[in-house]
Amino acid sequence: MNLMEMNFLILESYNTGAQFCRASNGKGRRVVMYIHNSLKFTIIDLCKYSKEKDIEICGVKLNVSSSIAYIITVNRSPVGNFNYFLQTLDKVLQSLYTSVSHIIICGDININYLIENNRKRRLDNMLLMHNLTGVVNFPTRINGTLALAIDNIFLDISRFEDYSVRLFINDLSDHDG
In a domain, 173, yes or no: no
Q: What does the pLDDT read at residue 148?
A: 85
Q: What does the pLDDT read at residue 1?
A: 41
Residue type, 90: D
In a domain, 166, yes or no: no
In a domain, 170, yes or no: no
Q: Concatenate the DSSP letters of all residues of 71-119 into one string.
A: EEEEE--TTS-HHHHHHHHHHHHHHH--TTEEEEEEEE----TTS--HH
Boundaries of domain holding 103: 3-155
Give bridge partners of residue 64 from the DSSP assignment: 67
In a domain, 174, yes or no: no
Q: What does the pLDDT read at residue 142?
A: 75
Q: What is the 3-state secondary structure (H, E, C) of 6-46?
A: HHCCCCCCEEEEEEEEECHHHCCEEEEEEEECCCCEEEECC
Residue type, 139: P
In a domain, 175, yes or no: no
In a domain, 142, yes or no: yes
In a domain, 16, yes or no: yes
Give the CATH number of the domain where residue 144 resides.
Answer: 3.60.10.10
Q: What does the pLDDT read at residue 16?
A: 82
Q: How many domains does the chain have?
A: 1
Would you tell me the crossing angle of helices 82-96 and 118-128 to the nearest 10 degrees? 10
111 touches 117 (CB < 8 A): yes
Q: What does the pLDDT read at residue 29?
A: 58
In a domain, 160, yes or no: no
How would you write the pLDDT of the chain (177 residues) with one tens digit per residue?
444 444 556 778 888 888 776 666 545 556 778 888 888 899 999 989 999 999 999 999 998 777 889 999 999 999 999 999 999 999 999 999 887 889 999 989 999 999 999 999 999 999 999 999 998 888 887 777 888 888 899 998 777 777 666 666 655 555 545
